[in-house]
Structure 1
Amino acid sequence: MIASTFSAPTGTPNQHPARPPRVLSIAGTDPSGGAGIQADLKSIAALGGYGMAAITSLVAQNTHGIRSIHTPPVSFLREQLDAVSDDIHIDAVKIGMLGTVEVTAVVGDWLAAARPPIVVLDPVMVATSGDRLLAPGAEDALRTLLPESTLVTPNLPELAVLAGEERAESWANALNQARRVSAHYGVTVLAKGGHLVGDHCPDALVDERGFPGGDTLIEVSGPRLTTRNTHGTGCSLSSALATAQARNNDWALSLRECTAWLRDSITHADDLEVGSGNGPINHFHTLWSAATR
């Protein structure tokens, strides 16, 4: 079902289609391996990319939650970013947890200097529970990155914050919020239906400027899956989309590819038996099952 993930379709922006996309994740860590940088690197590899990482924060957490966060000096973050971009051509960037105004400013300055062709921003602002994760100043700083991004991938509470509205309780309302965010910031928005109710779980890319061909909406849907092991789903999908789009140069193809991969990873998440809380998805199930066969 996901064999196309590992080929390079015609129309890829890479000059050498056989070369894996080189994707940089800028995010915090998760020592349990399910989210953050660790999930990003797994997702990038699973989608056929070469993953790189610049660490914004060191997080002590497991499948039950976060215990503490240590933020290294922002000057060291800039050194990490410059060390990579001075030497390696970056095909795509995924941005995850930033946390502070200072960290966000460093990333924004680096983006302006490095100009990576694809920037996918996972705006870590609000937990699924609705709890705000950032101080107001840090939220405002994060908003400044939206016009510099190619794609933003908020969960429903984050989408509501970006739109300045209440959380959407229906798919139609979520799409309308995504349209308003896209129009205001000039960015493609991924609307995600994972936390709505119903038998089906839709996802859609929304861009009020229009995709090639003139459409403003690219939507896919799959069956809703029942498992508590969904830790790091948002991190994983955003980094997968950055990788796929760097190879495909086709948002519709990238969305279909990544949502199919994610459904497979969630379907087999329970097989991992990692932790006693909200465990990780099974990033490499497709590869492992193919190797077994």
Structure 2
Amino acid sequence: MSIARILIIAGSDSGGGAGIQADIRTVTLLGGHAMTAITAVTAQNTTGVQGVHAIPAEMVVQQMDSVIGDIGVDAVKIGMIGSAGTAAAVADRLAALDVPIVFDPVMVATSGSVLADEATIAAFERLMAVATLVTPNIPELAALGGEEIAVRFGTHVLAKGGHGEGPMLTDRLIGPGGVLKAWSNARIDTPHNHGTGCTLASAIVTGLAQGRDLIDAIERARKYVREALALAPGLGQGRGPMGSPLGFHVHA
């Protein structure tokens, strides 16, 4: 029996709601095998980020090489990158891989804590150039240069609408030629939405690793995230983690 092998390059969230912890949970529940290259360790809970310790770029790449050389990789998800040097080193290593790559350009945590400085954000260009899909929210998309990044970097962009106003939210898939598809749903009114971006990107990359096309992978991922939001257990005093849809139908 074969299983989709997903390499996750991201930071650790001590509160378990986002980051590597959310990524592993999502990949596992959707039937994949999660491997990790941890870029940073955070002291974090539902109220914010209290501390960040970046892992040296050489160690991040060593983690990548360790699993790529032995287990192999069917797709890669990039989340919190830690530093500009790490972004460059990771981009160099990924350029040699011919697999789908989903880049979630994490800049600010759900709590509002900044997770990427200006130099790191500038270095995101290297990662966008090797990505199959970039998944920014509204503020991240603006910081990266807007919808034209799809043309500039020859990639696809899932412009997420969760930070927009109003009772409805719309996500748009943009390719170099323009908008390919849009999805609109009623907003799920909950403060417990920590980790939505990490979870969505990990769900998409799992679908791609399993052989789904991009639109199909996005559609299943959106359903998964909405179910996880509806199942949020209400933990913590701030923006708590989403739930784990243990009964989610992998082939939905």
TM-score of the pair, normalised by structure 1: 0.79
1:148 maps to: 130
2:63 maps to: 80
Pair 1:225-2:196 in alignment = no
> Which has more strand, going by share of residues?
2
2:73 to 45, 68, 90: 90
Identity rate, percent: 42
2:236 to 275, 283, 288: 275
* Distance (Å, rounded) in 2 between the aligned partners of 1:121 and 1:100: 15
Shift of 1:62: 0.7
2:88·2:126 contact (CA, 8 Å) conserved in 1?
no
Shift of 1:248: 3.4
Unmatched tracts of structure 1, length 5 or more: 1-17, 164-176, 211-215
2:83 maps to: 100
Pick the structure with greater CA Rg: 1
* Distance (Å, rounded) in 2 between the aligned partners of 1:276 and 1:129: 11
1:186·1:209 contact (CA, 8 Å) conserved in 2?
no
1:196 maps to: 164
Shift of 1:116: 4.2
2:22 to 20, 39, 60: 39
Shift of 1:279: 0.5
* Distance (Å, rounded) in 2 between the aligned partners of 1:198 and 1:262: 19
1:249 maps to: 212
* Distance (Å, rounded) in 1 between the aligned partners of 2:69 and 2:107: 30
Q: CA RMSD in A?
A: 1.9
| Closer, same or farther: CA 116–67 of 1 in aligned 2, 3 Å | farther
Shift of 1:217: 1.2
User: What is the aligned residue count?
Assistant: 249
* Distance (Å, rounded) in 2 between the aligned partners of 1:139 and 1:259: 26
134-143 vs 124-133, which moves further = 124-133
* Runs of 4+ residues over 3 Å off in structure 1: 126-133
Matches within 5 A, 1:54-203: 54-113=37-96, 115-126=97-108, 133-163=115-145, 177-178=146-147, 180-203=148-171
The amino acid that maps onto 1:246 is A
* Distance (Å, rounded) in 2 between the aligned partners of 1:223 and 1:251: 23
TM-score of the pair, normalised by structure 2: 0.92
* Distance (Å, rounded) in 1 between the aligned partners of 2:128 and 2:214: 18
Shift of 1:131: 7.2
251-260 vs 55-64, which moves further = 251-260
Residues 162-190 of structure 1: CA deviation (Å, up to 9, x unaligned): 11xxxxxxxxxxxxx42x12111111000
The amino acid that maps onto 2:125 is R
> Which has more helix, going by share of residues?
1
| Closer, same or farther: CA 189–136 of 1 in aligned 2, 3 Å | same
Shift of 1:53: 0.8
2:35 maps to: 52
Shift of 1:244: 0.8
Pair 1:260-2:223 in alignment = yes
Shift of 1:275: 1.4
**For 2:242, what is the secondary structure of its paired residue?**
coil
The amino acid that maps onto 2:107 is M
The amino acid that maps onto 2:196 is T
The amino acid that maps onto 1:19 is S
Residues 193-246 of structure 1: CA deviation (Å, up to 9, x unaligned): 111122222212111247xxxxx4122222211000000100110011000122
Residues 86-119 of structure 1: CA deviation (Å, up to 9, x unaligned): 1122011000111211111221121123x14111
| Closer, same or farther: CA 61–259 of 1 in aligned 2, 3 Å | same
Shift of 1:143: 1.3
* Distance (Å, rounded) in 2 between the aligned partners of 1:131 and 1:181: 25
| Closer, same or farther: CA 226–285 of 1 in aligned 2, 3 Å | farther
* Distance (Å, rounded) in 1 between the aligned partners of 2:21 and 2:241: 11
Unmatched tracts of structure 2, length 5 or more: none
Matches within 5 A, 1:5-24: 19-24=2-7
* Distance (Å, rounded) in 2 between the aligned partners of 1:84 and 1:76: 13
1:26·1:53 contact (CA, 8 Å) conserved in 2?
yes
**For 1:24, what is the secondary structure of its paired residue?**
strand
* Distance (Å, rounded) in 1 between the aligned partners of 2:198 and 2:31: 17
